[in-house]
């Protein structure tokens, strides 16, 4: 796998003014999904979005919220199509774990999303459950990272 040198990009909190840049790299938002665009704007304004930024601009972002049984939950992880397979997603997951303020950090993905499942496995996350009927015909897999136990790889 071709990885990005950690010096090639930084991971930092996104500002409210950066929403358009995140919308541009988010495949769902860029296709015109108004709900996703509104979510990205809200996440940026609330200081919840964390961006991986290279010399060319945003490469990806994540959002952690604390509304899932009062534990951290990676609500969104998106890597620009042009930056996929280069270590950006792994670095974002590591940053989410490092910054998580609760003992547990969860996320989920559809059964059909094999690339995300491989990323979570490589990053040391454990599968913990399956939920049917959220998206009809495509169950949701839930994963757990224990940020304070050092299970995440640097």
Question: How does residue 57 score in pLDDT terms, banded at 50, 70 and 90?
Answer: very high
Kindly state the DSSP code that residue 139 receives in the 8-state scheme.
P
Q: Does position 150 have pLDDT exceeding 90, yes or no?
A: no
Residue 1 forms part of a structural domain: no
Residue 140 forms part of a structural domain: yes
What CATH number does residue 67 fall under?
A: 3.40.630.30
Residue 56 forms part of a structural domain: yes
Domain that holds residue 52: 6-149
Structural domain count, the chain = 1
Question: How does residue 82 score in pLDDT terms, banded at 50, 70 and 90?
Answer: very high
Beta bridge partners of 73: 65, 106
Is pLDDT larger for residue 128 or for residue 153? Answer: 128
Residue 69 forms part of a structural domain: yes
Is pLDDT larger for residue 146 or for residue 106? Answer: 106
Q: Tens digit of pLDDT for each residue in 43-54?
A: 999 999 999 999
Residue 143 forms part of a structural domain: yes
Residue 154 forms part of a structural domain: no
Q: Does position 80 have pLDDT exceeding 70, yes or no?
A: yes
Q: Helix H segments across 51-145?
A: 88-99, 114-122
Residue 70 forms part of a structural domain: yes
Q: Tens digit of pLDDT for each residue in 121-139?
A: 999 999 999 999 999 999 9
The average pLDDT across 69-98 equals: 96
When the pLDDT of each residue in the chain is averaged and rounded to a whole number, the result is: 91
Q: Does position 18 have pLDDT exceeding 70, yes or no?
A: yes
Question: How does residue 74 score in pLDDT terms, banded at 50, 70 and 90?
Answer: very high
Q: Which residue has the tokens 């358009």?
A: 20
Phi, psi for residue 124 in degrees, rounded to 5: 90, 15
Residue 139 forms part of a structural domain: yes
Positive or negative CA dihedral for 31, 1, 116, 48?
negative
Q: How far apart are CA 149 and CA 67, in angstroms?
A: 22
Q: Does position 107 have pLDDT exceeding 50, yes or no?
A: yes
What percent of the chain stands above pLDDT 90? 89
DSSP for 20-71 reads HHHHHH-HHHHTT-HHHHHHHHHHHHTT-EEEEEETTEEEEEEEEEEEETTE
Q: What is the pLDDT of residue 146?
A: 76
């Amino acid at each position: 796998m071709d990885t990005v040198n950690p010096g090639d990009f930084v991971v930092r909190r996104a500002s409210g003014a950066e929403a358009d840049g995140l919308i541009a790299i988010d495949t769902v938002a860029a296709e015109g999904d108004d709900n996703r665009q509104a979510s990205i704007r809200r996440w940026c304004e609330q200081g919840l979005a964390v961006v991986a930024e290279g010399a060319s601009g945003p490469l990806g972002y994540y959002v952690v919220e604390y509304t899932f049984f009062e534990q951290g939950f990676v609500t969104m992880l998106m890597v620009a199509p042009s930056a996929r397979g280069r270590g950006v997603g792994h670095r974002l997951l590591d940053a989410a774990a490092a910054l998580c303020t609760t003992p547990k950090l969860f996320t989920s993905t559809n059964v059909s999303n094999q690339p995300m499942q491989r990323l979570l496995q490589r990053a040391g996350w454990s599968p913990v459950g399956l939920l049917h009927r959220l998206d009809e015909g495509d169950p949701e897999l839930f994963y757990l990272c224990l940020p304070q136990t050092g299970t995440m790889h640097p």
